[in-house]
Amino acid sequence: MYRDGCVDRAIQGNRLEFLSRRKHLPSGDGIKFRDVMGVDEPYDILYDDRLVPYLSPKSTTTTCWFVYTNGHVGLLVHEEYLAEKSVFALRKLSKKTVLHRIQSKNVDDDPINIVTADIESYRQLMSPGSSNIYEHEPLLIGQYNGKKFIRFRGENALEDYCQYLSDANKNWLIWFHNGGRYDVHFLFAPILKFCNTTLDRPMELRDLRGNLLEVKARLDNGHTITFRDSCSLIPESLAKLAKDMGVTRKMEDIDIKNVSREDMLTSPKILEYNRLDCVSLHEVLEKYQSTSTKAFGTNPLHHVSASSFAKKIFFSQYYDEDKYPLYIYPRHVRDFIAGAYSGGRNEVFHRGRFRDVPIVPYDFTTFYPSVGTQPIPYGAPKWLDNLGNIKGKDAMKKFLEASPGFYEVDILSTPRNKVPLHGIIHDHKYVFPHFVNCNTKIFSMELLLGLSVGYRYRLLRGYTQPLAPICAKFFKRMTKVRAKAKRKGLGALDKTGKTTTNAAYGYFGFNPYDRNVLRMYGENMVEHVESLADGGQLSYRKEGNAYICYERTDILLSDINVSVAAAITSYARMKLWELLQDITDIGGSIYYCDTDSVYSSIDIQEHPVLGPKWCGKGNGSNMGELKRELPKGEYIVDAVFVGCKTYGYVTNKGRYHTKSKGTKNPKPMEKPIKDGELYDDPYEDYGRDVEEYGRNKDIKR
């Protein structure tokens, strides 16, 4: 079985006859089921490549045999037509071996007509206890287009709203804030009544880890309704966005989660709450659209996420396709390099409670953009094997400098007088131990640093690529935009620059394989749905005449490159490691670090050697410089470090900060401690989530 792009390389003998007889077949990359359905010639379809029938040489050319797996089409060829018959050769040819160069993109600067909406639901407590369960009943939906606010209220509010959208007889693009996790899910059933379920895909769903970025419904009248989640584009609460951008604020004196059903149906105040939410989001998006288009030359509202917007800026304005090309890798290449792609360093060095020990937190300014200006791999990866004969520090250093890239190595020994440099995934955690005879994959620049501080390696194999600062102009431009916005007090531009900059590297490392995604199929796709369900590749439920499926499949994007992401994260860990080692070398104690921050006993800014080196001329204000998290003279006097992203502390000024990822935390540095009290209770009005409440209470104690 071969994908279409590999067939011609495999055919021999009667190749011309074979190719002439298959001219009627669809060709090209990404052949899908609908392409096959349009073929007039006779063919059979196999839904399971384990059940291949008898295939003669003649039937290869007179009948089209397809294998339909994960939506893609393969072609079965009799061995008479194969150039190689060994199992090894067949496996190699069946892989995708073509490198696809990433193309430059055009800017999208056309303005978008903004329409915003919001749903309010009555929450009925169904199962009180330690884990409260609520049933959400949507009773109000409002929509605003910049001039007119309309609303639908009552038990049939969503059905009436969808009827209104369908009757308008036009295409819609509607934004909900955090709609991908809440509002849009309520609209599946009512909007489906107006969809053309005879299509293979009556709805196109784009989701990321369960969050719906975009839902495009194809209606019976030929038009489309597209719902997007603005929180994926500007990841922040609507209240904070409105405050930062200086636009209409939502009503904060209403506890919408505890509104009675009667008030939800009749109260004018609730209606005004909904209207202001729609207006506030509309003004936020208007400002975001205008400031971003002016600053970056492309409109973010053409995109579904901050990452895709950042990607468009880079590939349309800063990517030199001819001089520094980037490629889409075959899976086996991608998987190898991804072995060297890990996240930031998050580590607890001293666990427990520490009183009357001065601790000073520092973090880097725009950390990842600063390391993203370093030389980055580009071009086609070249495979190098049998590298075990490169022995000795000098020979290995010379080789890595001449052939940078990503290599599989055995770490033979670790210097015990240094902070560990390399990390490894162990029990689903990213840890940094002292290695002895450990096999892993590492970026060449990280290997060079390891050699310089006493690590010993055995090189095995890997991919080499040239290096160049291909992202430097892009990241420097993003940083300048933010700096300008801060100087001039432009809140909207500052928010735009921050969001885009923070999203501007991770998209390169997106893993396109074996993703769990939401899909919707039409009624004529029942055979496909059931066959994949039988094979354990999806689960589904029937919704009207369609099937909503949770499917495991590949998302083959055309503009990702894991080498870029792996190199940037490696540079970040190397820079943080150097800071940790400097603190250790002068006798300081490190308590905690997280990606771009460190909590230690050293007030780095005041140190005569470390201050100039790490805080720089801007004293932490410039890109890549280290800055003090607390005001001068303030430091931590009581701290507890429980685990990664779980800690709390009190300062000598009587302020506190707690963090526990995955729970609702008290606002940092909000209130001083009063005399005679342990803490002011930030949860005095928050009694609905007992589990989170209790967990944060324990953290504070």
| Listed range (93-107, 150-164, 393-407, 649-663) with the worst mean pLDDT | 93-107
* The pLDDT of residue 32 is above 60: no
Q: Which residue has the higher pLDDT, 485 or 56?
A: 485
Ramachandran region, residue 433 (left: φ > 0; alpha: ψ -120 to 50; beta: rest): beta
Identify the band that residue 373 occupies on the pLDDT scale cut at 50, 70 and 90.
Answer: very high
Comparing CA positions, the residue from 281, 320, 317, 303 lying closest to residue 110 is 303
Provide the residue ranges of all domains of the chain, joining segments of one domain with +. 2-98, 116-303
Residue 647 dihedral angles phi and psi, to the nearest 5° = -160, 170
Percentage of the chain beyond pLDDT 90 is: 55
- DSSP class of residue 565 equals H
Question: Contact, 433 vs 446, CB < 8 A?
Answer: no
Give the residue carrying structure tokens 């430097």: 472
| pLDDT for position 145 | 96
247-261, 367-381, 463-477: which has the minimum mean pLDDT? 247-261
pTM, two decimal places: 0.80
Q: What stretch of H or E contains 290?
A: helix 268-296
pLDDT in tens, 174-232: 999 999 999 999 998 899 999 988 888 888 899 887 789 999 999 999 999 999 999 99
Mean per-residue pLDDT, 361-377: 95
31 has a pLDDT exceeding 90: no
**Where are any strands of DSSP class E within 509-645?**
515-521, 538-543, 546-553, 590-594, 597-600, 626-628, 636-643
Q: What is the mean pLDDT of residues 363-369?
A: 93
d(CA 143, CA 465): 51
DSSP state of 395: H
Report whether pLDDT(533) > 90.
Answer: no
Residue-wise over 291-311: b if at least 16 C-beta within 10 A, else e?
Answer: bbbebbebbbbbbbbbbbbbb
Q: Which of 61-70, 272-281, 401-410, 548-557 has the lowest mean pLDDT?
A: 61-70
CA–CA distance, 237 with 455 (Å, rounded to integer):
46
For residue 44, is pLDDT > 80? Answer: no
Q: Is the pLDDT of residue 247 over 60?
A: yes
Residues 6+ apart with CB under 8 A from 287: 245, 247, 492
SS in 3 state form for 99-151? CEECCCCCCCCCCCCCCEEEEEEEEEEEECCCCCEEEEEEEEEEEECCCCEEE
Is it the case that residue 673 has pLDDT exceeding 50?
Answer: no
How far apart, in whole angstroms, are the C-alpha atoms of residue 419 and residue 583? 10
pLDDT of 417-443, one tens digit each? 999 999 998 888 899 999 889 999 999
Q: Can you give the pLDDT at residue 216?
A: 94
Q: What is the mean pLDDT of residues 365-376?
A: 94
Check residue 319 and give its pLDDT: 96
User: Which pLDDT belongs to residue 60?
Assistant: 53
> Tokens in use for 12?
């021999």
Looking at residue 664, what is its pLDDT? Answer: 54
Residue pLDDT, tens place only, 273-314: 999 999 999 999 999 999 999 989 999 999 999 889 999 999
pLDDT tens string 557-593: 888 999 999 999 999 999 999 999 999 999 999 999 9
pLDDT for res 78: 54
pLDDT of 653 over the 80 cut: yes
CATH of 116-303, one of 3.40.50.1820, 3.30.420.10, 3.40.50.300, 3.40.50.720: 3.30.420.10
Q: Is the separation of the CB atoms in 617 and 607 below 8 Å?
A: no
Sorted by sequence, the CB contacts under 8 Å of residue 230 that are 6+ apart come out as: 116, 175, 176, 177, 179, 281, 284, 285
Q: pLDDT confidence of 57, banded at 50, 70, 90?
A: low
Of 446, 428, 424, 448, give the one whose Cα is nearest residue 437.
Answer: 424
pLDDT at 73: 46
pLDDT score at 386: 93
Higher pLDDT, 497 or 164: 164
Q: H/E element holding 368?
A: helix 367-371
